[in-house]
Structure 1
Amino acid sequence: MKIIGLSIGEPKTIEYKGKPFTTGIQKRQVDKAFLSFNGFQKDGVANTDFHGGPDRAVCVYPYERYQYWKRIYGRTLPIPAFGENLTVEGLTEDKVAIGDTFYIGETIVQVTQGRIPCSTISKNNHETDLLKKVVETGFTGYFLKVIKEGWVTMNSSITLVNRLDEQWDILLCNDILFHNKGKKEDVEKLSKIKELAPQWNRALLKKYSL
């Protein structure tokens, strides 16, 4: 488990097909950044429906998925193509579960939900079907909440501190939310996990009419 990219950036207005829109997806890589309970300093979001807040303070995307997208599109997407703060190796969605707690540098962070992607990732990468493929594969990345603030650097180590329940890995949770692969009793059990972000939980209960 290691950091491949550490990225921050404030929202700005860009154009897509001649139409302006404001987004925080276009971040820049840095050597170090201070992580507070609300996210990295000098980092921001534009669309608060999908990003931001204490339960979504840090966006993570697995480096291994870049290799997958290279095979699909025949080109290497530039990090951080998905607007993530941390591009990490060794922590794909099938290896990370809700409630997992990690030391990253001086900080302690906890996995709260898979990312619910929006069309901005397609616009940012100029691939019209990227959003569709991200949802189909479940290769969404995920969000962290901050339990202990501190500095994170490109050389910071990543150490698993605690695992709540390995059953609820992000890839499985994405299948349940996006592809209706959950049984009612499983959905009810997942929805009761207090470490699950409220926004994601509401989307889950709405999807299954619970």
Structure 2
Amino acid sequence: MKELIYFSIGKPKKMEYGDNKEIETGICKETVEDALLTKDGFIGDGVANTKFHGGPDRAVCVYPYEHYSLWEKEFGQKLPPSAFGENVTVTNMLEKDVHVGDVFQLGEAVIQITQGRIPCSTISKRNNNDPLLKRMVETGYTGYLCRVLQEGKVRKDSSITLLESHPKQLSVLFGNELYFHRPSDVEGMKRMLEVEEMAEVWKEKLRNRINAAMS
């Protein structure tokens, strides 16, 4: 049984961190009752850095709720809702258990996993925890991004259910391990490239790495 724990959206705004420093970011999302999900993301949601966030392949950000207790125990601090800037915080959808290309019903909408998330330093700034980013990359517990196949309304109590498991069965965690820790694994990258539904930006990155490794 998959459960939606937090449902959050928010436009970019200034966030203070560290020693009176300031950054414009969309990471500080707030829980909402409902929102319309379009091909470009939730109405009322937004990102500050469009190079690394947002767009049709990255319209929805998902993070597994189970990691909250892991990080809270490791770092001894309570995390706020949507601590990682995700739209949807869910149970029983760990990176090792879902695959790039999997399709899910989320409320009235239908979404498809396109890539693991590439976390950035804003996560550490948001949670006032410098080692957090490094640990997310080390573990591959980054969450993941989705495109929208069918637009529709999502509510905070909406159910999320698997409609179609991708036949290649390549997990988000496998993709993260390749991306972060195995940049020369040509065979692994070729396997990932067989998933046509993967985000274009990842395809390009993997192709470039393969070309570099074989040149």
- Per-residue CA shift, 1:104-150, capped at 9, x if unaligned? 11011100000011100000000011110110010000001000000
Please name the residue that 1:159 is paired with: 161
Q: Letter of the aligned partner of 1:201 in structure 2?
A: K
CA distance in 2, matches of 1:116, 1:134: 10
Secondary structure of 2:130's aligned partner: coil
CA distance in 1, matches of 2:14, 2:126: 12
RMSD: 1.4
User: Offset at 1:166?
Assistant: 5.4
CA distance in 1, matches of 2:55, 2:186: 29
Q: Letter of the aligned partner of 2:58 in structure 1?
A: R
CA distance in 2, matches of 1:107, 1:177: 29
Aligned match for 1:120, one of 115, 119, 122 = 122
Is residue 93–residue 170 contact of structure 1 (8 Å, CA) maintained in 2?
A: yes
- Per-residue CA shift, 1:154-207, capped at 9, x if unaligned? 111111111113531011110011001773122112123210001122233344
Is residue 61–residue 142 contact of structure 1 (8 Å, CA) maintained in 2?
A: yes
User: Offset at 1:2?
Assistant: 1.1
Please name the residue that 2:51 is paired with: 49
Q: Does residue 15 of structure 1 match 2:19?
A: no
Q: Structure 1 length as normaliser, TM-score?
A: 0.95
Is residue 59–residue 145 contact of structure 2 (8 Å, CA) maintained in 1?
A: yes
Is residue 7–residue 32 contact of structure 2 (8 Å, CA) maintained in 1?
A: yes
Secondary structure of 2:158's aligned partner: coil
CA distance in 2, matches of 1:183, 1:207: 9
Between the aligned residues of both structures, percent identity stands at 48
**How does 1:32-71 map onto structure 2 within 5 Å?**
32-71=34-73
Q: Judging changes above 3 Å, is the alpha-carbon distance between structure 1 residues 165 and 181 closer, same or farther for their aligned structure 2 residues?
A: farther
Q: Structure 2 length as normaliser, TM-score?
A: 0.93
Secondary structure of 1:35's aligned partner: strand
Q: Does residue 132 of structure 1 match 2:134?
A: yes
Count of aligned positions: 210
Is residue 50–residue 117 contact of structure 1 (8 Å, CA) maintained in 2?
A: no
Please name the residue that 1:204 is paired with: 206
Secondary structure of 1:188's aligned partner: helix
Is residue 97–residue 165 contact of structure 1 (8 Å, CA) maintained in 2?
A: no
Please name the residue that 1:84 is paired with: 86
Is residue 177–residue 207 contact of structure 1 (8 Å, CA) maintained in 2?
A: no
Q: Judging changes above 3 Å, is the alpha-carbon distance between structure 1 residues 67 and 182 closer, same or farther for their aligned structure 2 residues?
A: farther
CA distance in 1, matches of 2:184, 2:142: 18
Q: Judging changes above 3 Å, is the alpha-carbon distance between structure 1 residues 166 and 70 closer, same or farther for their aligned structure 2 residues?
A: farther
Gaps of 5+ in 1: none
Secondary structure of 2:49's aligned partner: coil
Is residue 6–residue 90 contact of structure 2 (8 Å, CA) maintained in 1?
A: yes
CA distance in 2, matches of 1:67, 1:203: 32
